[in-house]
Structure 1
Amino acid sequence: MALKNIARTGILLALVVSVALFAVSSPVHAQSPQVTAEVDRTAPTLYDTVTLTVTVTGENNIGAPDFPTLSGLQITGRKITSQQTFRNGRVAAEFKFIVEMQPRHTGTIEIGPVSVPIGGDTYETDPITLNVTQGVPPAQTSPLPTQPFRPANSFLRPQGQTNQGDPSFQADVEDGAYFIESEVDNYSPYLGEQITYTSKFYSADPYFIRPIHSAPDFVGFWNPDRPDRREYPETIEGNGYRVVESSEILFPTIAGNINIEPSTVGVPGGMLSSSFTEYASPPIELQVRPLPSNEPPSFTGAVGQYEIEASLDSNDLAFGDSLTLTVEISGQGNFDTLPDPVWQDVPGWRAFENDSFHRTSVQDGTISGSKTFERVLIPDSPGDFDLPPIEYSYFDPEQEEYVTISSNAFSIKVAPDPNAVAAPDLSGAVDGSVEVADIRHIKPAPGGIGSPSNPTHLEPLVWGLGMLPVVALAVLIVWRWASARRQALLIANAPIRARREALSRLTKLDPSASGADAATAALHGYLSVVLTQSSSAMQLPELKLQLQERGASAETLQRLDALIHGLDQMRFAPPDMADVSNSSKAVADVVHRIEREVRT
């Protein structure tokens, strides 16, 4: 009995030590997963935009959230942000899934729970209730022109506005004038209808230097960020100009009066100089029309012109197998926010949705493409079934009416499972009985029951097998600790490696204007590591703000501003005027200053 108590005590102590070690080593993550959902307003009007934010903290092994059917709401935009930091030996992660929506009717609208898969488990948010009121539409203004005309949308020189028919126009041209104009191809589009915004910068300067163009923020529009820029000569009133044209595709997300802020163009004052003269176009005002209120039940917010096609991977299957229903919507419109079809419940079938994907291209200034949706269907029983057509409704802004399209129907045959065990045939029994084999009897007891010479729990093999889970647990603990340590070192040393790589690239620059591209790539490669996101895709003000929030000084930001402007000028300067050596030193100086000041 004493040996048995000692053995039990030893095993208990080993388990306690293992649990303690696991508790010390397991907090690699900052906290247990937390999933929350919130909206920026719970009492919107029909003219407001509601922003739904789903936040996941404490984990980085997460799947895509499963949003419920947003009945009564039209999705106007989606965005994902993430942030991961390593502090005090722990990795802290935060993901935000942002959906912008606009109410389609008044009354109570419920946003159901959002499901988020995390590490094999599923977390759900609480439902959210919106109370939508009619509200007051934006104030109406004077009717907008159906076609823009150049003088009203042109700025000639920074001093003010000038029509091309004015006498001063010719005088400014002789002085080497600049002017910028902007326009849209439709001043009264429907909600969600594609429009094209175009700005043109004219330069009569014979020593033309490509300007730096800054597009508006396009608040109230979905912008696929596919700018089209080109240059060409043009003659106006007998004067030659070099024209830099930039076009952006937009989709209005808010009904009512919307202003597009001015486009600005900065003209460099000289080679490697940080001075600029800025020219701005006047703002543009649009009257965005809401969609008609007689939408069909299958309408979920699509605007454009579309076609539908559906297919099955098989029409014959065995019970227990599954099939995949693929629905493709193709045509012209905003495929980034194109909503799902209204899926109908099919009796006798279970359905599971896969992630959708889309492909787009720009043809003749119009976004065309397709979006594919997939559903996995599993039958509940064998038999013959008919799947009804899939309906999809959209609003056609050209016809100014709702259109409903539908796919073909499908006939499916589900055969019985060939591996199923058949039930016994009782049809031949007269009284309902059937002869079956008797059950096997229990083995009779032996003549005597004895005890082994050595207790089983004292055998060395039993001890070894008992300690095997403890040893495996200890190995797992050490492996997890080492993995977390390696990850921490990689995160901590990423800025240092980025600085070394940037400085190494600077020593290999080509002493010509093409070296400016390499210097720019080296600078943005370092900044992208420091900011944990692509810095080349940021506007300069946003880039400076991000660095300022991380501790960059005003002098460092000023040097970065001058450096980026100087590199932009050098990229288009003649080879004999490109001072790559000084630019390389300037990049190295900015990199060293950011490394000293910025918190990573």
Structure 2
Amino acid sequence: MRTSELIQTIIKTKYNTYISGSCVRLSREITSISSCTKYYAVILLLLFYGSSIANANNDVQFRASALENVVVGQQFRVTYTVNQEAKDFRGPDLSDFSVVMGPSSSRSSSYQIINGNATSSFSLTYAYVLMANATGEFTIQPAHITVNGQRYASNSLRIKVVAGNAGNANSAPSSSSGVVTQPNSNQSISDNQIFIKQQISKKKVYEQEALSVIYKLYTRYDVRDVSNAKFPDFKGFFSQEIELPKDRQFTVENVNGVNYNTIVLKQYLLYPQRSGNITIEGAVVDVIMRLSNNVRSRGIFDFFDTFQEVKKTLKTSSETISVKSLPTTSKPSSFQGAVGDLSFTSSLSKSAVKVNEAISFKLLISGNGNLRLLQSPNVKFPVDWEVYEPKINDKFKVSSNGTSGTKEIEYVIIPRYVGEFDLPAVEFSYFDPTRNQYNTIKTAAYNVSVEGSSTNETTSPSTTLSLSVQENVKIISDDIRFIDTQDTFVFPHKQYVFGSTLFWLAYIIPTFLFVLIIVLLHKQLKENADSSLMKIKRANKVAKKRFLLAHNFLKQKNEKSFYDEIMKALWGYLSDKLAITNSDLFKDNLVSELQARGVASTCIDETIAVLNDCEFARFSPSSSSELAMETMYQRACNIITSLESELKHKE
């Protein structure tokens, strides 16, 4: 093994020895390496040890965790975890709770080498078991610990303690959560033990005023899964789903003196798009519960309960929302449907520019309201300014309180002429549903000074835009109506095109051609769709191509290939023309089909004779003369001609 590989092996094997203080033993192993490389190995290990200690100090994580909601009388765990070796743990003041046990400590570590990459993890955990004594919200202050001579503090915890179930507040909880019950699976599942609620924030709103809908599951059973959820499509509303935390957990909620485990399934933000009564349909979800499978007679070895999963469908009732129309009496002319609590500002990047220099003009709408549905306010730019399509930048946050954020509208403007220009104030109006009134905001007016020279002429600073000369306009003539020097066709006096022969021909001929093309295309498509009909129509063409190829073999005196092509031409023509499949293409079937179509017996006999003679000449060991081949070619051509004539006449 090379020296570098040996050093790397020792480093990986002793990765964690800097924590336990075993550097002396590690140095003894290094002495086994040649003396010329020993010093390099020691320096490398010291650098590795120092960087590891530095990284350990920088990456210390000391965290506290516990349930957020507990019930009076419930026991729960509070844990403090640090990812480095530590000492001198000092717990917080826990006088608001009864300390059942703790603090107890435990360690865990792991070390892995995958594809030459070494990874390790370590955790030291201190745990308490507490019991809540009274209702309310309590704060557990941070704990403290020492790591590598430095003092660290954990995060604080907020614990909400709720009352026990009505009439049973002093009884011990049935599970760690203090809520879950385990009924017999043979018993019926009560609707007041598990249900979903459709919680609507407002039932009377204005048009475009936000309201939230929350679908929450309440349960006293051990729910294993929620599936097949069907929520309303919210007809009459503009809906936005509110994103829920991925790591959300059940919390305890007291309803009419009974504690339930609750969790939010879905949450929506709705904006009504019309006035009147709008119905929100109910939701339907399937829940799977884990219930005890107790029986009356238990065996002497039945020490443990068995469980089974039970499915139940939960539904909510529909709700009706009363939507009021926006007031019309005091509606400002600049109102475009904005509803909420909004603000409006503007900004101009430059007030003094040169000709053809771009300016940025921004409008900013911010606040809480129907921001996604807002239209851009009307801006009256000088008529000859070049204004590009606005760039809109939306930054929204959707919550149960509504849509908040900003809507930025940016215009890029390029002045083309010299002068002083006024950019008037922009008005923005919105309706405030909390105050039941319209508000109008005006931005500041701007004066823009454009310097330089226009393309066609230079104007004085006092020249207004209306006196500026248009740019890039080609002068065709200086007369009011200039004299056209080219030949011009003029209709004679009182001669009209409408109603004339030329007029009607101009309409009738294209119409006739269009109808004719449609008919021909329809016929062609119909024929193409019928594969058998296409084969019948193309049978003669295919046969002619094969006869042409056979004639080439005749000139080359290639007897075998000649008779092969003649046979293919005859059988292929008969198969396509008579619509007989290859599997049914026998001489007996051929004779029957020709007789059924009324073909003359002499023509049928000649056809069979040509097929027999061709087969005999094809497989005969004696060679045929060129005259015999020419005779066969002529007979085959005559048969195709006769059959084509007979079959067309019968059709």
- Length-normalised TM-score, structure 1: 0.39
Q: Which has the higher contact order (CA 8 A, sep 6+)?
A: 1
TM-score, normalised relative to structure 2? 0.36
* Larger Rg belongs to: 2
